[in-house]
């Protein structure tokens, strides 16, 4: 070995690596700042995409991206909080109670009338007799053909 190539410890072509060891194949600092590293993701200063000082991270979809996919208000990974997705009702409320009626209108169940099929804002409710849209008088009338009592009550 020519004298000009003598390195540390008198070894031909040797030098001291980042780990302080004299070697003919010294360790070097990789782009992530790791001594002897291989520019691998999530090491040193590298993010999951192996970008030094990067901001990528694993999202709810299991993918490494910048920005990462996140759960929206409806619980949908990468979603936009849209109505009737994930946990959102037809009004876009997470865990809400709104439903669609037979015509496709969205309203609270309490705003849905008793009409058949059910309709939002029909205004029909059950009366005291249990009749949808009734006025309460149906249960007070005697059925047609029923015998009527006309005399005094006797025991």
pLDDT recorded at residue 150: 52
Q: Are 65 and 73 in contact (CB under 8 A)?
A: no
pLDDT recorded at residue 136: 80
pLDDT recorded at residue 145: 57
User: What pTM value is reported for the model?
Assistant: 0.59
pLDDT recorded at residue 148: 52
pLDDT recorded at residue 124: 85
pLDDT recorded at residue 144: 60
Q: Are 16 and 8 in contact (CB under 8 A)?
A: yes
Element containing residue 119 per DSSP (H, E): none
- Which of 11, 45, 15, 14 has the alpha carbon at shortest distance from 31? 45
Q: In whole angstroms, give the CA distance from residue 60 to residue 107.
A: 32
What phi and psi, each to the nearest 5 degrees, are found at residue 3?
-60, -30
Cα dihedral sign, 83-85-90-94: negative
- pLDDT, one tens digit for every residue, the chain (155 residues): 787 777 898 889 999 999 999 999 999 999 999 999 999 999 999 999 999 999 999 999 999 999 999 999 999 999 999 999 999 999 999 999 999 998 999 999 888 888 888 889 888 888 888 888 888 877 765 556 555 545 454 44
**Cβ burial, residue 112 (10 Å; 0-12/13-18/19+):** buried
pLDDT recorded at residue 143: 57
Dihedral-angle region of residue 140 (phi above 0 means left; psi in -120 to 50 means alpha; beta otherwise): alpha
């Amino acid at each position: 070995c020519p004298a000009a190539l003598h390195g540390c410890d008198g070894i031909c072509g040797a030098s001291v690596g980042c780990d302080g060891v004299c070697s003919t194949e010294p360790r070097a600092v990789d782009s992530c700042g790791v001594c002897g590293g291989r520019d691998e993701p999530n090491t040193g200063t590298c993010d999951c995409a192996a970008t030094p000082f990067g901001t990528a991270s694993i999202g709810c979809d299991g993918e490494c991206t910048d920005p990462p996919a996140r759960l929206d208000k409806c619980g949908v990974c990468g979603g936009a909080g849209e109505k009737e997705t994930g946990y959102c009702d037809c009004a876009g409320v997470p865990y809400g109670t709104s439903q669609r009626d037979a015509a496709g209108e969205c309203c609270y169940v309490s705003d849905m009338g008793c009409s058949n099929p059910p309709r939002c804002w029909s205004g029909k409710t059950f009366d005291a007799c249990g009749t949808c849209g009734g006025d309460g008088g149906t249960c007070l009338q005697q059925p047609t053909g029923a015998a009527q009592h006309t005399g005094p009550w006797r025991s």
